[in-house]
């Protein structure tokens, strides 16, 4: 469906820039390299532990559980850019494990907006005009690494507008 729409307006996925080459510090140590997810749709979500949208972690985990075996990756990117994150990666990891039993991949605390934004978020801003305006903004990347859709904080992870796009990429 997405490919058809792009072709109808005269674009191909190859014409769009890809998210290749970006890596994040992993909350568990080491790095998370987006190149490792080539061939898989990826939902990247900037998160925070003390936000009114924090209960969305349940939905993100459920989304990951539902589609993980088909190839979906859900990547949580904790950020304190909106002053609602805990003070350390260890505290974030513990909070998410105890309160949400998260098993999805998670980065270390990362800047997602402004001049200090992680290069991935700078790339999104420069190529899609998208910069998170609050916590729990979502970016869906195609299996080729192109940004396909962005969703604001109020978009629930299991909403049809998100799952329908994921399902189209998993077929």
Catalytic residue among 51, 91, 158, 168: 51
Residue keyed to tokens 């910069």 = 131
- DSSP assignments along the chain, one per residue: -HHHHHHHTT--GGGS---TT-EEEBTTSSEEEGGGGTTS-EEEEEE-TTSTTTTHHHHHHHHHHHHGGGT-EEEEEE--TTS-S-SSHHHHHHHHHHHH---S-BBSS---SSTT--HHHHHHHHHH----SSTT-EEEEPTTS-EEEEE-TTS-TTSHHHHHHHHHHH-
> Quick check: is 96 catalytic?
no
In angstroms, rounded to a whole number, what is the distance separating the alpha carbons of residues 84 and 43?
21
C-alpha to C-alpha distances, 14 to 66, 96, 129, 147, nearest whole angstrom: 29, 37, 19, 12
So which residues are the catalytic ones? 51
């Amino acid at each position: 469906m997405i490919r058809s729409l792009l072709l109808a307006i005269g674009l191909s996925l190859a014409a769009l820039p890809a998210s290749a080459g970006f890596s994040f510090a992993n909350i568990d140590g080491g790095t998370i390299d987006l190149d490792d997810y080539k061939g898989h749709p990826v939902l990247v979500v900037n998160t925070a532990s003390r936000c009114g949208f924090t209960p969305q972690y349940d939905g993100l985990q459920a989304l990951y559980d539902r589609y993980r075996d088909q190839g979906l990756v859900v990547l949580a990117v904790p950020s304190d850019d909106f002053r609602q994150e805990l003070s350390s990666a260890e505290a974030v990891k513990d909070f998410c494990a105890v309160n949400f039993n998260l098993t999805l991949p998670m980065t270390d605390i990362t800047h997602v907006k402004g001049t200090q934004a992680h290069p991935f978020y700078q790339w999104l801003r420069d190529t899609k005009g998208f910069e998170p305006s609050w916590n729990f903004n979502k970016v869906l990347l195609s299996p080729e690494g192109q940004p396909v859709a962005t969703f604001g904080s109020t978009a629930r992870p299991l909403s049809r507008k998100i799952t329908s796009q994921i399902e189209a990429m998993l077929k």
